[in-house]
Chain A
């Protein structure tokens, strides 16, 4: 009987974790959840921030990566006035293809950089944001790129292959 309880607990532990994994680079500090809608957020002392959140995006609705990338571009450029400086194809650590949109925007006449990366996996949309004052952002770019490369939106585990494909528990 004890054995069954242990197995059930193991499954629950896996299922309760975040459905993604991201590493925090040295120099960044992960922030506690502040009911901001982000599932992960880390900052440097100067305020260069990287965040990650997950939204439902059932694949049967037909919205693919291009759809979301285009939606984000329209929202940021037309509605919010951000300049699209670059759009790159990226791949997460688990091999999922994503799109990174690199924007620029002046905040009070000071140039800022803002990246939005989207991945579609597990019937979900993973949104990775990074932003900061352009000069500081440039300084922290290697760390930000390292963090982006550490992102996993699909995790495999020999313990529970079915559940693990829907979660990337962090313990």
Chain B
């Protein structure tokens, strides 16, 4: 009996020895936990690569939270600041600069200057009512009609309402083809703005010079001034246009068959002649 109890105790000891400590990362925390029961079947359900990808996505926050808990376990509070007197002035200045840089980095970036454009091709069905409906969408969204013909329409809507307007427009008919682009014109805008400021500064300098100049010099300065003024006007116009394009997104809808040319490269040209014989004109020609 005693032998039996002893062997039982030994077994228990052996079993306890392998238990993971609470701090050690359990398999669960890495997402491979599907290790038990139902999880064992999981790898069979999807390719291993997919499984792993999903796991990694889950793993990131887990690791992060573990890092937080580690910090909590460490001695409380931030490290003590270095004594004031020991830091040289240069180092202090550098630190200040660093803090300023950090602040600048923390401030949110200005939203990129994007020009949104959508081109939709819709099936040729009830075109007139659809054109009216699209025009109404523009008005409802505080936008405006840019161009309208028998089979196409272009509207401009405020940038912040672009997605809503596009969704509304898509409801007016059967969208056969959809193309949405967002063109980043930040560089172009910044460059133009800088050039405009330089040109304006040049204009001011020339105007100052003109006040002090004699007749002969004044003639030359006026020629230069005229040139600079022309440049300023042109750049202001371009900048205004760019701002307008950014502020108002463009949605163009064309009611047309995409046609043979558009679909030639697509893998839908099937070698069944009867497909080409489908359609109303043939059916209705009695």
A residues bordering B, Cβ < 8 Å? 31, 36-37, 43, 47, 49, 51, 53, 55, 71-72, 74-85, 103-107, 109, 111-112, 114, 116, 127, 129, 131-132
Contacts and interface: CB of A to CB of B under 8 A. Distances in A.
Interface stretch (B78-86, B102-110, B271-279): B271-279
Nearest to B177: A78
B176 interface: yes
Nearest to B274: A55
Contacts of B53: none
Interface string B117-157: 00000111111100000000000000000000010000000
Contact of A78 (B127, B150, B173, B263): B263
Nearest to A71: B270
Contacts of B262: 78
A51 B283 contact: yes
Given A77-B176, A78-B176, A79-B259, A106 B279 contact: no
A79 B262 CA distance: 8
**Ranked 8 nearest A-B pairs via Cβ:** A81-B257, A83-B123, A83-B174, A83-B125, A104-B125, A81-B124, A74-B268, A75-B275
Nearest to B267: A74
B284 interface: yes
Interface string B169-195: 000011011000000000000000000
Size band of the interface chain B makes with A:
35 or more
Contact of B283 (A55, A82, A104, A114): A114
Q: Is the interface of A mostly helix, strand, loop or mixed?
A: strand
Interface of B: 122-128, 150, 173-174, 176-177, 255-260, 262-263, 266, 268, 270, 272, 274-286
Nearest to B285: A36
Contacts of B259: 79
Contacts of A129: 278, 283
Contacts of A127: 274, 278
A82 to B, nearest CB: 6
23 contacts: A36-B285, A49-B284, A55-B272, A55-B274, A71-B268, A71-B270, A72-B278, A74-B268, A77-B123, A77-B174, A78-B177, A78-B257, A78-B258, A78-B263, A79-B268, A81-B258, A85-B174, A104-B174, A106-B126, A109-B150, A111-B125, A112-B280, A131-B284
